[in-house]
Amino acid sequence: MNAAMRIHEEHTESERYEFLKSIIRERISSALTRVKPRTLQRIMKESVYGGKMIRPIVTMLSCSAVGGKESDAIDAATAIELLHTSSLIHDDIMDDSPLRRGLPTIHTTHGIPMAILAGDTFIALAFQSLQSIGGVNKERIHHAFTDSFRHVCEGQGYDLCLSLDNCAEDDAHSLMVEKKTAKLMQSATEIGALIGTSNQEHIQALSYYGYTLGMAFQAQDDLLDAIGDEELMGKPVLVDVKNGRSTYVTSDAVTVATSDNRADAIHATKCLVQNYTREACWSLDRLPQCEANEMLRMLAESLMKREA
């Protein structure tokens, strides 16, 4: 039974989430079989182990939430996840991170040149996956995807500038978060909506849902780096703090007045997560009520409470 047929089977919400993840894993696994040499293919397979796959899931759910078929969004969802995987590999190299999802990062086990190559190949596979998408909104979908790719690169640029104290922009931290995290999530939901409908109000609602979800996600990430459980997270905590990197917890951008009180910064960041999550859920009120809409709402609320 193919994915297009199996995707409509009955599941509980958690089972459905895992089911959609399995479909994306299958599609990525299939794409990787085309990669040569086999050593590169094996290394790339290592890098897709684990992960929440939030971005491809919201792509498919967004399509369904506006009346489309989730199966029509599989290729776009795969492209989004492949691009995200590439950004993680390159990010780990630049940060010299030893662990990702509890396992040694690609560059620590296979060297920087091979890791760069793996990341670049993921980008190529992402654009190949996107080529099969048609429909009246095809050009807008391709524009949204390439635009998000540029934003991810620019976001990493702001991250590097901030770590080197070499950023002239006063709002560099917020721009880093917006471009590095929120824009890709926004692209995922917007593309899913564009595949499912031409209703501009619904497309805009899901675009804003993705943006605010991404902002909340990064703020929660910063919280976990400051107060998270290292064993649960599968990676070291306090890394950003020790490296002097700008986060919502270490930056006074979360408060009106500058504060050196860590407890205040943590409280302000928690409020930020709650506010962005609330905004994301409110945007869903502009859509028809359906199972996919409810899953998007529950996903936003669960991400706000996540511990890893």
Query: Residue 94 belongs to what domain range?
Result: 3-304
Those residues with Cβ within 8 angstroms of residue 180's Cβ, 6 or more apart along the chain or in another chain: 87, 151, 152, 155, 156, 158, 159, 218
Q: What is the rounded CA–CA span in Å between residue 222 and residue 242? A: 13
Q: How does 3-26 read in b/e, with b if 16+ C-beta sit within 10 Å?
A: beeebeeeeeeeebbeebbebbbe
CB 207 within 8 A of CB 193: yes
Separation between Cα atoms, residue 42 and residue 236, nearest integer Å: 26
Question: Taking the complete model, does pTM exceed 0.75, yes or no?
Answer: yes
Distance, in Å, from the CA atom of 9 to the CA atom of 212, rounded to the nearest integer, reads 30
**CA dist., res. 121 & res. 118, Å (int):** 5
pLDDT tens string 119-167: 999 999 999 999 989 889 999 999 999 999 999 999 999 988 887 776 6
Q: How confident is residue 228, by pLDDT bands cut at 50, 70 and 90?
A: low
126, 79 Cβ separation under 8 angstroms: yes
Q: What is the pLDDT of residue 176?
A: 92
Indicate the residue type of 62.
S
Domains of the chain: total: 1
Residue 285: is it exposed, middle or buried by C-beta count within 10 angstroms (0-12/13-18/19+)? exposed
pLDDT, tens digit, 9 for 90 and up, residues 187-218: 999 999 999 999 999 999 999 999 999 999 99
* Band (4; pLDDT cuts 50, 70, 90): very low
Going by C-alpha positions, the residue among 128, 58, 57 that lies closest to residue 86 is 128
According to DSSP, the residues that pair with 103 across neighbouring strands are 100
Q: Amino acid letter at 21?
A: K
Q: For position 220, which CATH number holds? A: 1.10.600.10
* CA-atom Rg of the chain in angstroms: 19
Cβ partners under 8 Å of residue 127, min gap 6: 79
Cα–Cα distances in angstroms (integers) from residue 217 to residues 70, 195, 211, 237, in the given order: 23, 24, 10, 17
Q: What one-character-per-residue DSSP string does 63-111 give?
A: HHHTT--GGGGHHHHHHHHHHHHHHHHHHHHHHT-SEETTEE-HHHHH-
Confidence of residue 308 (pLDDT cuts 50, 70, 90): low
